[in-house]
């Protein structure tokens, strides 16, 4: 059974950040040192289980040393929150929305942080699209990559059939055979590419669960890369109406992996809100 299906539902709550600590070394957070090299897929399970340090370590080893991972611990209201993102640049005294999973010790592991003043959304690595959006993206990538590789061979059936010795019917048979062979190679390459990028599928399931907690109507179709692009397009066309002028966040131009802009926040369902 899927790990995501076994775990408790995520909860949503809001509050003011205080006592924020940000580190780049997992030794300040890690709980289980033997889990350091578990890889990307295991990192999803670790994060869901609330093992912040181990999850960050697994992500660090999987994305490479050049990709920075920052861990944080803070209070949001009166709740202790831990987590890890590519870059942590929210700060004390800022109001944020949190999607988190309760931990046994009474604290919360943050899977997403949303800062409403400048429409920023922090998400885990690779968690930018729901399951159906991910499948669509995967199919598109596989199709175009396979087409690029096989495109130079498109003239092969015509060339072979024209240069082979024989009557018209033999040329037709050779043309049909080479065409079918080309189609087979295209589909085989597409299948291989599709399978190679399928290892990120668990992250789309996690992303979909986060989107559901935020209240998006069709979380399986949501793609935060497209949402971020549309946000920037709207700002260029209609002015920076999403921002609150004359604030530190308004002037903050930092860009980091899996830190997105969103346009409008949906209404959070009552079932997602943390019951006090």
With cut-offs at 50, 70 and 90, classify the pLDDT of residue 244. low
219 by Cβ neighbours in 10 Å (0-12 / 13-18 / 19+) ranks as buried
In this structure, is residue 270 part of a structural domain?
no
| Percent of the chain with pLDDT strictly greater than 90 | 29
Indicate the residue among 165, 181, 198 that finishes a domain: 198
In this structure, is residue 85 part of a structural domain?
yes
Separation of alpha carbons 237 and 27, rounded Å = 46
Task: Kindly state whether residues 25 and 144 are assigned to the same domain.
Answer: no
Task: Kindly state whether residues 121 and 60 are assigned to the same domain.
Answer: yes
Residue 85: half-sphere exposure toward Cβ, Cα within 13 Å:
25
* Count of domains observed in the chain: 2
Separation of alpha carbons 124 and 84, rounded Å = 8
269 CB contacts (<8 Å, ≥6 apart)?
215
H-state helical runs in the chain: 3-6, 39-49, 52-63, 131-150, 156-163, 168-196, 201-214, 224-238, 248-251
In this structure, is residue 205 part of a structural domain?
no
Looking at residues 125-153, what average pLDDT do you find? 80
Task: Kindly state whether residues 30 and 116 are assigned to the same domain.
Answer: yes
Q: Using the predicted structure, report yes or no on whether residue 185 has a pLDDT greater than 50.
A: yes
Task: Kindly state whether residues 48 and 174 are assigned to the same domain.
Answer: no
Task: Kindly state whether residues 12 and 31 are assigned to the same domain.
Answer: yes
Task: Kindly state whether residues 100 and 174 are assigned to the same domain.
Answer: no
pLDDT digits (tens, 9 = 90+) for 10-50: 999 999 999 999 987 555 444 433 333 334 434 444 443 34
In this structure, is residue 185 part of a structural domain?
yes
Task: Kindly state whether residues 98 and 60 are assigned to the same domain.
Answer: yes
In this structure, is residue 8 part of a structural domain?
yes
Q: Among the listed ranges 124-128, 172-176, 237-241, which one has the minimum average pLDDT value?
A: 237-241
Task: Kindly state whether residues 115 and 135 are assigned to the same domain.
Answer: no
Task: Kindly state whether residues 24 and 155 are assigned to the same domain.
Answer: no
In this structure, is residue 218 part of a structural domain?
no
Length of the chain: 276
Looking at residues 136-155, what average pLDDT do you find? 77
Separation of alpha carbons 201 and 207, rounded Å = 10
Task: Spell 34-57 as b/e; 16+ CB within 10 A means b.
Answer: ebeebebbbbbbbbbbbbbbbbbb
Task: Kindly state whether residues 30 and 89 are assigned to the same domain.
Answer: yes
Between helix 168-196 and helix 156-163 the angle, nearest 10°, is: 160
pLDDT digits (tens, 9 = 90+) for 43-76: 444 443 343 444 444 444 444 444 578 899 999 9
In this structure, is residue 267 part of a structural domain?
no
Task: Kindly state whether residues 121 and 36 are assigned to the same domain.
Answer: yes
In this structure, is residue 273 part of a structural domain?
no
Helices (H) and strands (E) in the chain, counts: 9, 7
Task: Kindly state whether residues 179 and 252 are assigned to the same domain.
Answer: no
Domain that residue 253 falls in:
3-127+223-261
């Amino acid at each position: 059974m899927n790990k995501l299906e076994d775990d408790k539902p995520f909860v949503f709550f809001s509050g003011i950040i205080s006592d924020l600590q940000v580190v780049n070394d997992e030794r300040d957070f890690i709980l289980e040192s033997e889990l350091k090299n578990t890889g990307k897929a295991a990192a999803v399970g670790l994060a869901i289980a609330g093992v912040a340090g181990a999850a960050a370590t697994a992500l660090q080893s999987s994305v490479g040393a050049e990709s920075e991972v920052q861990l944080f611990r803070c209070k949001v209201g009166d709740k202790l929150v831990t987590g890890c993102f590519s870059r942590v640049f929210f700060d004390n005294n800022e109001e944020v929305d949190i999607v988190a999973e309760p931990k046994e010790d009474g604290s919360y592991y943050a899977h997403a942080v949303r800062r409403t003043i400048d429409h920023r959304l922090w998400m885990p690595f690779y968690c930018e699209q729901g399951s159906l959006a991910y499948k669509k993206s995967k199919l598109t990538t596989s199709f175009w990559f396979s087409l690029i590789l096989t495109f130079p061979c498109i003239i092969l059936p015509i060339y072979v059939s024209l240069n082979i010795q024989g009557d018209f019917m033999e040329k037709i048979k050779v043309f049909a055979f080479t065409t079918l062979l080309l189609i087979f190679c295209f589909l085989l390459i597409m299948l291989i590419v599709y399978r190679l990028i399928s290892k990120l599928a668990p992250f789309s399931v996690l992303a979909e669960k986060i989107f559901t907690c935020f209240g998006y109507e069709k979380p399986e179709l949501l793609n935060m890369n497209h949402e971020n692009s549309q946000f920037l397009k709207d700002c260029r066309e209609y002015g920076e109406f999403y921002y609150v002028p004359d604030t530190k966040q308004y002037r903050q131009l930092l860009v980091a992996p899996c830190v997105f802009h969103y346009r409008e926040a949906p209404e959070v369902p009552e079932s997602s809100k943390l019951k006090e």
